[in-house]
Structure 1
Amino acid sequence: MSAKKLIVCGGNGFIGSRICKYAVTRGWDVTSISRSGEPKWDTVTASDKPPQWARKVTWERADIMRPATYAPLLKGADFVVHSLGILLEADYKGVLRGQESPIEGLRKAFSAAPQPGNPLDRKVPEGSNQDIRPPETRNQLTYESMNRDSAIMLAKEAARENVAAFAYISAAGGAPVLPARYITTKREAESTIASEFPRMRGVFIRAPFLYDSSRPITIGMAAMTGLGAAFNGFTRGVLGGFMGAAGVKPLKVDIVAEAVVEALGDDKVKGPVELAEIEELANKSWRKTMV
């Protein structure tokens, strides 16, 4: 039986790189797609040297905002993963050039101004090299473009190639410090992918806060999130809606990555995958390695 072929968009990131790792462990043929190709390893692991498994991954460069740059790489794929997203948005070019302050970027993020509809509504043409972002937000990393539109267009291209399953790294919830659009765009992506591409098995991993010792800052943040989860449990979820992901138990990033690979390989897993099922899938995957 030939090896499964997996494409991970954002495969050089914090969780994407680990999804690649666990897929390689299963003997899958793995390709990562990102703007920069292979990761800067000290940003995703504890070392600046590539790990052994990385040699078995094909590191490709493409622009997630221009489907024509990555569409050819999806041919023959069994599974596709979207592991990109942002927590905060800003006019990054303006900030870098000193034309806009980070505070102004945050103000935009919390703005109630109307946001562009998804690219299917805007009828972004297939096969063109057109940027999927509308002109008014072309220079801005927005929740709509990163968390929603890039996933929808990737799913569209995957469905066109008859990919069996599509995994989207979503979120358990928002948080008091984040604009509501952070989580609404995640849920819009889930809903659109499920309804528009029903023949492709959609798997929506609603991950909580992720941590790992290779990123020390995440350890302290996970501890705070863990306290929020404990408080949420003690109060029986009275403030659960307000706290969002800050009230959900954090997980080690490897647990979620392992669960993603297990979910893709299991035809019965479909739709939203919440915290308990993420842990169950990771344990199932771990038990397989012990046999």
Structure 2
Amino acid sequence: MRTIVSRLINSRSSVSRLSAITASGNGRYLSTDSNKVDEPLKVEEAETVNVPPPPSEKLLVLGGNGFVGSHICREALDRGLTVASLSRSGRSSLRDSWATNVIWHQGNLLSSDSWKEALDGVTAVISCVGGFGSNSYMYKINGTANINAIRAASEKGVKRFVYISAADSGVANYLLQGYYEGKRAAETELLTRYPYGGVILRPGFIYGTRTVGGMKLPLGVIGSPMEMVLQHAKPLSQLPLVGPLFTPPVNVTVVAKVAVRAATDPVFPPGIVDVHGILRYSQKSR
């Protein structure tokens, strides 16, 4: 008899639990006490928080309206960077649509008061500044101007600096003494100021379509075949005196691609990158 009563009590308890579970389907839930049903759970809508996107990297291209510099500006824009350019002439004469997205600054690197505001908010600099003329002029443009830029960027706290230098040219080093001495002086300054964030690219002949006086010169007609032949002749480029004659040309778009990568990739190794290294890094980034 006691067993029957016990079973009845247990069955009534089960019915009570079932009723509570059924009630929970109408917006109520079962508490730890099986005989108690709490009030409906109120869920408040989460507050929407506007989180600003991460700040874009800002790249300053020195000489951005030149042959190499303009390609670097375009490559950087394609990668979503904020791009500014500094040159003596200011805005580029190029009428390409991308040029309207560049912040153009006019200034002279030999005059410290005319351009330093262009470094505001800049996270990396790429310098394409260089020129030919008398030895004293070449040293100023290739050396002093770039040294001034490197020092100013370092003092401003710019993280990375990429310098487009030039490969040794054997006999031409003596004929263009001011040019190469200026380049090497700028390299020394960069390696001193930026031991961990400075990259020096040393291309040889840079080919591509140059615009001169409204005329387009397709230098790739000569440069492209030479590159295909000479990029496999690296041992010959090590020969004394004549070795530089076997340095392969490089496409301007390749230089631009590697320069922007060197300026924005924190794991890109600092130091000097020769033309063979430029070609190698361009293939890795494809």
Taking structure 1 as the reference length, what is the TM-score of the superposition? 0.69
Q: Is the 8 A contact 1:7 1:77 kept in 2?
A: yes
Q: Which amino acid aligns with 2:118?
A: L
Q: Which residue of 2 aligns with 1:30?
A: 83
Secondary structure at the counterpart of residue 27 of structure 1: coil
Q: Which residue of 2 aligns with 1:183?
A: 180
For 2:237 and 2:103, the matched residues in 1 are separated by: 44
Q: Is the 8 A contact 1:204 1:272 kept in 2?
A: yes
Q: Which residue of 2 aligns with 1:51?
A: 96
* Structure-2 change in CA distance of 1:243 and 1:163 (3 Å): same
For 1:236 and 1:243, the matched residues in 2 are separated by: 6
Secondary structure at the counterpart of residue 81 of structure 1: strand
Q: Which residue of 2 aligns with 1:256?
A: 255
* Aligned partner (choices 190, 195, 202) of residue 198 of structure 2: 202
Q: Is the 8 A contact 2:206 2:251 kept in 1?
A: yes
Q: Which residue of 1 aligns with 2:128?
A: 83
Q: Is the 8 A contact 1:211 1:252 kept in 2?
A: yes
For 1:37 and 1:28, the matched residues in 2 are separated by: 20
**Aligned: 1:193 with 2:181:** no
Unaligned runs of 5+ in 1: 42-49, 91-108, 110-136
- How many residues are treated as equivalent by the alignment? 225
For 1:241 and 1:283, the matched residues in 2 are separated by: 30
Q: Which residue of 1 aligns with 2:223?
A: 222
1:60 Cα deviation from its structure 2 partner: 1.4
Q: Which amino acid aligns with 1:218?
A: L
Shifted more, 167-176 versus 202-211: the winner is: 167-176
Q: Which residue of 2 aligns with 1:118?
A: none
Q: Is the 8 A contact 2:234 2:247 kept in 1?
A: no
For 2:261 and 2:105, the matched residues in 1 are separated by: 24
Q: Is the 8 A contact 2:88 2:108 kept in 1?
A: yes
For 2:274 and 2:90, the matched residues in 1 are separated by: 30
* Structure-2 change in CA distance of 1:198 and 1:252 (3 Å): closer
Query: 1:266-281 maps to which residues of 2 (within 5 A)?
Result: 266-269=265-268, 270-281=270-281
Q: Which amino acid aligns with 1:157?
A: A
**Aligned: 1:11 with 2:68:** no
For 2:230 and 2:125, the matched residues in 1 are separated by: 31
Larger radius of gyration: 2
Q: Is the 8 A contact 2:160 2:194 kept in 1?
A: no
Taking structure 2 as the reference length, what is the TM-score of the superposition? 0.70
Q: Which residue of 2 aligns with 1:100?
A: none
